[in-house]
């Protein structure tokens, strides 16, 4: 265990500084988040280019060597208010390097300009775009961090409601899965989490919800989600975060729904600690486990001519 590394990161983070709050404009919040994510390590060994998937732009990230079949549809974090495929690169590239699979990181619409359910609609449209290109659903994994992790789950609900087959696997890093904020960790980790407070949750949640009732599976799947028939789930989370119980409660619902699920909890690490790859041993180890899960569960067939078709997008 890397106690010294974890203590150094905690000291560097200090009090919450990148979450939404009432004393900064949305433009400043986004700029601060982008600057913070720019300090994270992006591993070498990938190349990327812009493309279009569904109705939105996306960043296609591919391994420079050792490419393998499989597609990761990645949803970046940022409370559905901030972030971009570029801010998600530390995690997207980490998964691509470790698996050899290509990844599409989606530039979904953000609140408050585009509140719920705009982001979910964009994610499903991107997934439909892959399917329309001839990519087999079993060869696709949804992966995402924070709000993007929540979108992995809620997009499956909407895809299922639209009659689409579900992807082959889901991987989430510190997913936001409960807009009712009723998990015990929202209180017990308040003041411990270096990124969020209950106050910042109210601010960011209000901008995304825009009056929508959080007591529904598209906003609080950890409480209201029907996971029957879902693909295998890997839920990674740290103990020093308000969102801890979002993952633990979703894991219970998955278990009760007879869904294969791995709840992977790492002690004394912050929200989306996997972003500290190259700085924190636990981050690299967690990413290794995520890569193993993906290679075990994502099918190896069904690409057809999808790569060639998308190359001209």
Q: Active-site residue numbers?
A: 146, 241, 271
Q: Can you tell me the distance from the alpha carbon of 123 to that of 276, in angstroms, rounded to the nearest whole number?
A: 26
For tokens 């296609």, name the residue: 60
Is residue 101 within 8 A of residue 95, CB to CB? The reply is yes
Q: Which residues contact 95 (CB under 8 A, 6 or more apart)?
A: 72, 74, 101, 103, 143, 171, 287, 290, 291, 294
CA 149 to chain centre: 3
H runs (alpha helix) in 100-239: 118-132, 147-161, 185-188, 198-209, 221-224
Element (H, E) at 132: helix 118-132
**Cis? peptide before 247, omega within 30° of 0:** no
């Amino acid at each position: 265990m890397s106690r010294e590394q974890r203590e150094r990161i905690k000291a560097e983070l200090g009090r919450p500084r990148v979450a939404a709050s009432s004393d900064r404009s949305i433009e400043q919040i986004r700029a601060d988040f982008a600057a913070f994510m720019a300090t994270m390590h992006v591993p070498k060994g990938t190349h990327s280019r812009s493309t279009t998937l569904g109705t939105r732009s996306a960043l296609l990230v591919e391994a420079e060597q050792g490419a393998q079949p499989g597609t990761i549809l990645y949803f970046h974090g940022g409370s559905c208010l901030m972030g971009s495929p570029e801010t998600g690169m530390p995690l997207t590239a980490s998964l691509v390097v470790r698996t050899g699979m290509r990844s599409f990181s989606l530039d979904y619409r953000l609140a408050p300009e585009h509140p719920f359910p705009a982001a979910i609609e964009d994610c499903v449209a991107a997934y439909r775009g892959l399917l329309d290109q001839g990519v087999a659903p079993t060869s696709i994994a949804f992966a995402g961090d924070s709000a993007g992790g929540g979108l992995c789950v809620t997009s499956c609900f909407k895809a299922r409601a639209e009659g689409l087959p579900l992807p082959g696997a889901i991987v989430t890093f510190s997913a936001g899965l409960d807009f009712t904020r009723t998990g015990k960790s929202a209180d017990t980790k308040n003041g411990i989490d270096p990124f969020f407070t209950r106050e910042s949750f109210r601010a960011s949640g209000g901008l995304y919800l825009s009056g929508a009732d959080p007591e529904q599976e598209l906003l609080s799947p950890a409480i209201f989600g029907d996971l029957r028939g879902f693909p295998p789930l890997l839920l990674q989370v740290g103990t020093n975060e308000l969102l801890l119980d979002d993952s633990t409660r979703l894991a219970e619902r998955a278990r009760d729904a007879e869904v294969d699920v791995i709840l992977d909890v790492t002690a004394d690490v912050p929200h989306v600690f996997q972003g500290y790859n190259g700085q924190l041993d636990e981050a690299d180890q967690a990413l290794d486990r995520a890569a193993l899960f993906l290679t075990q569960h994502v099918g190896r067939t069904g690409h057809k001519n999808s790569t060639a078709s998308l190359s001209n997008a």
